[in-house]
């Protein structure tokens, strides 16, 4: 199964470097990474170009002009650019453990999308990790437990591991809490719903919920990757929520309808 990791990023080269360090040490290296760049400055491009030469996997960089929050558009362009059968979405400030790709591959199942969870790093700890180059992706659970005791991270329990089982399919209609910082699906299912809805542009939030609800409307079910494939989410300031009410209105309208295809989606780039 060909697999692609689509990494959405915007002006955080230090976090992106930590993320790429972790992907270079994945136990499963049979994947490509597409950096979906929503208008970063040239330092991000320079970072990616320097990593292309050493990466043990195909690595590419897609960039679009900075015209405000347009994560849906750049993710759609990346989705159109890959020919992988299976796609993992994540963010440029989410560092994976070494078996992250392997776990998404292992849990992938036809008729389902996967949703994993995250451990949030505090601001002071994030600053130390990036400044000192601390390889947290290599940390043992003992080290993470100590970090939790110091309140450097918000949770420890998500780092525990459970095997596959019926519990992973126990909430097939769940969309609440599913985020594209740790999400995967079959490319054919994503294309069937026309990818992400680019109507969510210029204002942060809920474009990931919109995608998940449309997948559910199309008959693709939720499968949990919790206790299998977490990510370590580096701290950042909250995004501008000024347009959130309009996005909530768009999402409520979708929930009340049977619609599964995005009106402004990936078919523009295919």
**Mind listing the pLDDT tens digit for each residue in 89-137?**
999 999 999 999 999 999 999 999 999 999 999 999 999 999 999 999 9
Backbone angles phi, psi at 32, to 5 degrees: -115, 155
Strands (E), the chain: 3-9, 32-37, 59-63, 86-91, 94-95, 112-115, 118-120, 182-186, 221-224, 231-233
Higher pLDDT, 4 or 200: 4
The total number of structural domains that make up the chain = 1
Please report the pLDDT score of residue 261 as a whole number: 98
Instruction: Residue 167: count other Cβ atoms within 10 Å of its Cβ.
Output: 12
Give the pLDDT confidence of 1-53 residue by residue, as tens digits: 999 999 999 999 999 999 999 999 999 999 999 999 999 999 999 999 999 98
**CA–CA separation, 237 and 205 (whole Å):** 14
Mean pLDDT to the nearest integer, 167-180: 96
Percentage of the chain beyond pLDDT 70 is 98
Res. 165: pLDDT tops 80: yes
- When pLDDT is cut at 50, 70 and 90, the band that residue 205 belongs to is confident
Is residue 78 a contact partner of residue 5, using CB atoms and an 8 Å limit? Answer: no
Nearest to 144 by CA among 118, 180, 177, 106: 118
β partners of residue 6: 34, 89
**CA–CA separation, 98 and 24 (whole Å):** 9
Nearest to 17 by CA among 43, 39, 41: 43
Cα Rg of the chain, angstroms: 18
Is residue 214 a contact partner of residue 260, using CB atoms and an 8 Å limit? Answer: yes
User: Domain limits at 57?
Assistant: 3-268
Backbone angles phi, psi at 131, to 5 degrees: -70, -40
Is residue 193 a contact partner of residue 261, using CB atoms and an 8 Å limit? Answer: yes
**CA–CA separation, 60 and 48 (whole Å):** 8
Here the CATH number for the domain that contains residue 209 is: 3.90.550.10
């Amino acid at each position: 199964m060909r697999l692609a990791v689509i990494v959405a990023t915007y002006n955080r080269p230090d976090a992106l470097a930590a993320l790429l360090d972790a992907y270079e040490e994945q136990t499963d290296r049979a994947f490509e990474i597409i950096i979906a760049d929503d208008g970063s400055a040239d330092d991000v491009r320079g970072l990616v170009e320097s990593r292309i030469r050493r990466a043990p996997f195909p690595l590419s960089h897609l960039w679009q002009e900075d015209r405000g929050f347009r994560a849906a558009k750049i993710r759609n362009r990346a989705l159109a650019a890959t020919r992988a059968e299976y796609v993992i979405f994540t963010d440029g400030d989410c560092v994976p453990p070494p078996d992250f790709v392997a776990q998404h591959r292992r849990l992938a199942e036809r008729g389902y999308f996967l949703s994993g969870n995250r451990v949030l790093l505090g601001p002071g700890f994030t600053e130390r990790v990036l400044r000192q180059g601390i390889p947290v992706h290599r940390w043992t659970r003992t080290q993470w437990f100590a970090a939790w005791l110091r309140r450097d991270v918000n949770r420890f329990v998500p780092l525990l591991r459970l095997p596959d089982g019926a519990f992973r399919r126990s909430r097939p209609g769940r969309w609440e809490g599913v985020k594209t910082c740790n999400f995967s699906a079959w490319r054919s299912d994503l294309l069937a719903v026309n990818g992400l809805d680019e109507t969510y542009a210029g204002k942060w939030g809920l474009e990931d919920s919109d995608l998940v609800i449309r997948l559910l409307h199309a008959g693709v079910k939720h499968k949990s990757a919790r206790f299998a494939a977490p990510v370590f989410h580096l701290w950042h300031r909250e995004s501008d929520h000024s347009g959130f009410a309009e996005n909530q209105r768009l999402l409520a309208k979708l929930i009340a309808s049977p619609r599964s295809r995005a009106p402004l989606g990936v078919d523009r780039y295919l």
